[in-house]
Chain A
Amino acid sequence: MREYMQLHISSDSRNESFARVVVAAYAARLNPTVEEIADIKTAVSEAVTNAIIHGYEQQPGQIVVEACIEADTLRVEVIDYGCGIDDVARAMEPLYTSKPGGERSGLGFTVMQSFMDELEVLSTPGSGTRIKMAKRVAARQTAEREDEQEQLR
């Protein structure tokens, strides 16, 4: 069976910090650098915030956070079953925000794109959004970790 983790949380803003800490803890087995962990936490925070503010428009809903590790790559998906995004390309433009009054910077997707290695946004208006991200953790790190584990055997 494929190895993965799955987290179900309500769309409560307190869960933003919970979700990013859980994914960071899961990613720890790749022995990431402090900087890589910070990148992952920032991107997950943006994705979960997006689900709460835009997917559910601050109304109650369920968010699923999935993560798996493939070789040296962490894959994370943040899924909501909210209103979806009409124009994904536009939503992903830097500084674009559909909620200009709320002092949102419009940088959410730009941060996810820049702090992770891969980003894909799948959305169906009326049924929800799936944000797929991947982060490669430096290969040298993984090799060192394997060496350490080898020595422990």
Chain B
Amino acid sequence: MLTHMRQGKRLVIKLQGEIDHHTAAAIRDEMDTLIWRYPVETLIVDVGNVTFMDSSGIGILIGRYRIMSRMGGTLRVRGARDQVDRILEFAGIYKICQKEA
């Protein structure tokens, strides 16, 4: 469901498919396993291959933002397209997380 890549002090987690309440729990658990395994300064969540996201996805991002903040790190969101970009913008995610193209 997700792939990851560690680059020095950065961890890139690439999500794919549809993120809703049904898929959210597994995505959250997998992300947290990676975050604890690789404590890094910057977590980049790549949503370029996410085709749908509702407010469940917003909940995931806000939760991971809180975890990273508590550890003194930052969260960036990369590659959002169309519907995903619009709901991220709407929910104000880009006010707390840097947006990467």
Contacts and interface: CB of A to CB of B under 8 A. Distances in A.
B59 to A, nearest CB: 4
A12 to B, nearest CB: 8
A45 B62 contact: no
Contacts, number: 64
A41 B91 CA distance: 17
Interface of A: 13-14, 16-17, 34-35, 38, 41-42, 45-46, 49, 52-53, 102-108, 111, 114
Contact of B20 (A16, A38, A102, A104): A16
Interface of B: 18, 20-22, 24, 28, 52, 54-56, 58-60, 62-63, 82-83, 86-87, 90-91
A57 to B, nearest CB: 13
A14 B22 contact: yes
A111 to B, nearest CB: 5
A38 B60 contact: no
B35 to A, nearest CB: 14
Contacts of A45: 20-21, 52, 54
